[in-house]
Amino acid sequence: MKYKNDKRTVMTLDAGGTNFVFSAIRANEEIIEPIRLPSDADNLEKCLNNIVEGFSQVKSVLKENPVAISFAFPGPADYPNGIIGDLGNLPSFRGGIALGPMLADKFKLPVFINNDGDLFAYGEALAGYLPYINQKLEEAGSPKRYKNLVGFTLGTGFGGGIVRNGELFIGDNSGAAEVWLLRNKLAPQMNAEEGVSIRAIRRVYAQETGTSFEQAPEPRDIYEIGIGNKEGNRQAAAKAYRKMAEVLGDALGNVLTIVDGIAVIGGGISGARDLFMQPLLDEINSSYTGPDGNTFRRLSPMAYNLEDDSQLAGFLKGESKEITVPGSGTKVMYDPLARVGVGLSKIGTSKAVALGAYSFALNAIDNR
């Protein structure tokens, strides 16, 4: 909770294909009523004017001058330089639009733009799941602490972000953690997003029930069918989420193999945890088979479902013990249980993105 008591204010934006929602954050809290304007996505001049107008309205209601503008915006983009590339859901952005420099010139403030998946992970690392789980470990008397986190967002698309030791990993082309482009385990000719998204769940339910994709319910309704709260094919609903869990678990396992930290999941689909969390962990903890027929774990550390009380207890307890330093009577603590954990956002995806934008701006200003 690095900036929980910081008195500086940062103006933010939630940029959607239809609407722009502007706000301001101070001390990790939203301090104004959000301001909504249309995106006018097919008209570049109107779109840019709306962005300027939105931040102007925010600034006019603030009691103190903001120190920065920081927000998530769709890619492709050169995020460090604030240049937005050819966007799918904002078709007027073509050929490279220097959005960051434009806003910096208009408002005479530093401007920081990032991917929403990156900011989700950053918000969870600095003000969300990572401090939460480390506090839990401290309360349990464990010497274990985590410094690395991967964030995954499940919704219309499949997004991600990586935070290492408090720093967001962006990559040399602003393309780190593009998890949607990982291979789809169940359909290797496709990318993972085709197995981990709203359309993926609807597609499997439609296939299993012999109906068209257009007739398939939304994931929320499929979830309600799957847990028996709504009429429908319960078996098909469960299978839709189980297949998503297998693709997601494979992608998450691949990322955790490299990052070795805590994983946190957000986005609209994450609310269906009853149907996908344990199959997800089963996939991460699955085994490979060697050419000699012997099996071995696909992930070196054990992965725990941090949403399950018994697994959380085991994760927090670990196997801590005292060992003696050779040649002396000194005792040191040692926890030989290598483990990672997977949990769901406690603060919500939108708030995590906003806090990520806020923290990113202040961290960049402080390190200049």
Instruction: In whole angstroms, give the CA distance from residue 350 to residue 83.
Output: 23
Q: What architecture is the 120-366 domain classified under in CATH?
A: 2-Layer Sandwich (3.30)
pLDDT the model gives residue 16: 73
Domain ranges across the chain? 9-114, 120-366
pLDDT of residue 92: 82
Fold held by 9-114: Nucleotidyltransferase; domain 5 (3.30.420)
Tokens representing 278 are 């344990």
pLDDT attached to residue 46? 94
pLDDT of residue 109: 97
Provide the pLDDT for residue 339: 97
Point out the residues of the chain with pLDDT beneath 50.
Answer: none
